Chain A
Amino acid sequence: MANNIAAQRIQREFKEVIKSDEVAKCAIRVELVNDNYTELKGEIAGPPDTPYEGGNFVLEIKVPETYPFNPPKVRFITKIWHPNISSVTGAICLDILRDQWAAAMTLRTVLLSLQALMAAAEPDDPQDAVVAKQYKDDQEMFRLTAKHWTAKYAGGPGGNPDFEMKIRRLTDMGVEEDQARVALSSYNWDLERATEQLFS
């Protein structure tokens, strides 16, 4: 495996990403997970002036044997509240990871495209319908929720005492914390409706 096209190409890309300006600015990073270059760990800094600012988002990158003829399989390991990323599985809806992939694209292109997606969501092509609906209906609610998730899961700044209190009310009733956060986020932090959904 270590000698095929995919592995050789990843080795070269590695140098490219490591040399690039974005790394110097701490915006993107790639690390090897195993020796045969089939699995990597990516990291993206949350773009400035977004609810993700200050957070560090970890990605799972799987390189298929047919790379670069087929795109890498990428998903968010860090939980994130974003219309084009599943809040449950981290699966991503991005055209270049599907039919718009081209062999000349690299891991660097992928990471920078994901960073751009974080800065400008495409709610009309959602991965997570609940998040997309909130994004369209109530921008401020979306912003606060996404910022809360960034603080909680990605090491971002600022807490939200009101949200924390509501989560505690649910965990006191025996609900698991992540589950409580998803339910509350999905119901615009309406404690009553979230409770109803969890116990129905």
Chain B
Amino acid sequence: MADYFEEMGWQPLADGEAPDSLLHFARLLMDFGMFDVLGEDKKLPPPAAKEAVKNLEEKKCSDADEKCTICLKEYTAGEIVKILPCKHDFHPACILPWLEKTNSCPVCRHELPTDDENYEQYRKEKIRAKQREAEIENLHNSMFS
């Protein structure tokens, strides 16, 4: 049994610990897109983790480099730009305010880690759910093809 819970990413409640019903409620709202109703920015994922932002790669632009897709200005040679893990690059002054607002790349939506525990938990569960779906699909295919 323990393995099953581990696989699902669930942790048993400690003695005297109550389930975090607020978290469950928040998840329910997210799943049904209810944050829309509650306010404009509520559904945006939280800001990128401070550590991840601090450790972003940088590079010096050469002449051949293109433009920053946030301000649409062309890079000048020698200018320092920040590079996200997805390899999209931006001016520091352009990408940092965005990452303070939400954790994804403005071009491809690649997600950076966040400092928000609830959101990270929610995201882990989403990924697991997807994996499970793929596994079931594989199983199904191997059984019926």
* Interface of A toward B, CB cutoff 8 Å: 5, 8-9, 12-13, 16, 68-70, 98-99, 102-106
Q: List 9 A-B contacts (CB under 8 A).
A: A5-B71, A8-B71, A12-B73, A70-B41, A98-B43, A99-B41, A103-B98, A103-B106, A104-B69
Bound-complex Cα distance A5 to B73 (A): 11
Dominant secondary structure of chain B at its interface with chain A: loop
- Closest chain A residue to B68, Cβ basis: A104
Distance in Å: Cβ of A159 to nearest Cβ of chain B: 39
Q: Tell me the count of chain B residues lying within 8 A, CB to CB, of chain A.
A: 20
Query: Which residue of A16, A99, A103 is within 8 Å of B70 (Cβ)?
Result: A103
Chain B residues, Cβ within 8 Å of A69: 97-98, 101
Dominant secondary structure of chain A at its interface with chain B: loop
Interface residues of B in 1-51 (CB under 8 A from A): 35-36, 40-41, 43-44
Chain A residues, Cβ within 8 Å of B106: 102-105
Bound-complex Cα distance A8 to B70 (A): 11
Whether A98 lies near B40 (C-beta < 8 A) is: yes
Whether B98 lies near A12 (C-beta < 8 A) is: no
Interface centre among B43, B97, B106 (most CB of A within 10 A): B106
Whether A16 lies near B72 (C-beta < 8 A) is: yes
